[in-house]
């Protein structure tokens, strides 16, 4: 059995976890609040 190939994120927190796990390319859609949350995550951790 294979893992999921596509993900739908309905929460900014879940989007940040997926991003941190390197699964961002599998996310097909996010809420309108996710991009700002991911930017904050990158700024706080000093990541490009």
Answer yes or no: is 40 within a domain. yes
What pTM, to 2 d.p., does this model score? 0.59
Answer yes or no: is 24 within a domain. yes
Answer yes or no: is 39 within a domain. yes
Dihedrals phi, psi of 28, to nearest 5 degrees? -95, -20
pLDDT score, position 1? 63
Return the bridge partners of 43, or none. none
pLDDT score, position 11? 82
Provide the 3-class DSSP secondary structure of residue 8. strand
Domain count, the chain: 1
Domain that holds residue 32: 7-45
pLDDT score, position 15? 81
Answer yes or no: is 29 within a domain. yes
Separation of first and last alpha carbons in the chain: 35
Answer yes or no: is 1 within a domain. no
pLDDT digits (tens, 9 = 90+) for 9-48: 888 888 888 878 888 788 887 778 777 777 777 788 787 7
Strands 7-8 and 27-29: parallel
Answer yes or no: is 15 within a domain. yes
């Amino acid at each position: 059995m294979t893992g999921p190939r596509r993900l739908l994120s309905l929460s900014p927190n879940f989007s940040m976890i997926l991003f941190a796990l390197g699964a961002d390319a599998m996310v097909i859609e996010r809420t309108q609040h996710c991009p700002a949350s991911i930017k904050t995550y990158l700024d706080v951790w000093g990541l490009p």
